[in-house]
Amino acid sequence: MIGKLNHVAIAVPDLKAAAWTYRERLGARVSVPQAEPDHGVTVVFVELPNAKIELLHPLGANSPIAKFLERNPDGGMHHLCYEVEDIIAARDQLKAKGARVLGDGEPKIGAHGKPVLFLHPKDFAGTLIEIEQV
Ligand code: CO
């Protein structure tokens, strides 16, 4: 069911510093910051040959990553995103195998304009998982 790794999302307290690190220290291709008010984040996309890294910084009062940064003030890995062909089929298989789907269980349109769901970290080795239909 699981396809390619689409991105690794890293919550960062300082978006400029994190973008600098990836661009100047690692020599990666790095986008300008993009505000995503619907998702409560500002994102810098880092393009690698085989996947993306997304540097996430809180935007607005109810950002979903604000609490994470309170617990992890230096930043850290927030979630992994795996591609699936059919998000409804993937969700139903995952639920049948005992995985918890976050929210109301209905896919939302994610930061790339494609349907996504999030899965409970306790069911995936302590890692928040996003699945995205590609
Ligand atoms: Co993501």
pTM over 0.85: yes
Q: Mind listing the pLDDT tens digit for each residue in 29-67?
A: 999 999 999 889 999 999 999 999 999 999 988 898 999
Cα→Cα distances 76→17, 57, 69, 124, 129, Å: 14, 11, 8, 17, 15
CA of 128 to the centre of ligand 1 (A): 10
Catalytic residue numbers, as ranges: 130
Amino acid identity for residue 31 in this structure: S
**pLDDT at 132 > cutoff 90:** yes
Kindly report the average pLDDT of the chain as a whole number. Answer: 96
Q: Mind listing the pLDDT tens digit for each residue in 58-104?
A: 998 889 899 999 999 999 999 999 999 999 999 999 999 999 999 99
**Ion ligand 1: residues, Cβ under 5 Å:** 9, 81, 130
Q: What is the CA radius of gyration of the chain?
A: 15
Class of domain 5-133: alpha beta
pLDDT confidence of residue 10: 98
CA–CA separation, 24 vs 79, rounded Å?
24
**pLDDT at 107 > cutoff 90:** yes
pLDDT confidence of residue 76: 98
Confidence of residue 8 (pLDDT cuts 50, 70, 90): very high
pLDDT confidence of residue 110: 85
CA of 25 to the centre of ligand 1 (A): 23
CA–CA separation, 47 vs 101, rounded Å?
28
Cα→Cα distances 97→39, 92, 100, 117, 120, Å: 29, 9, 9, 16, 13
CA of 68 to the centre of ligand 1 (A): 14
pLDDT confidence of residue 112: 84
* Among the listed residues 53, 36, 50, 73, the one whose alpha carbon sits nearest the alpha carbon of residue 4: 50
CA of 50 to the centre of ligand 1 (A): 16
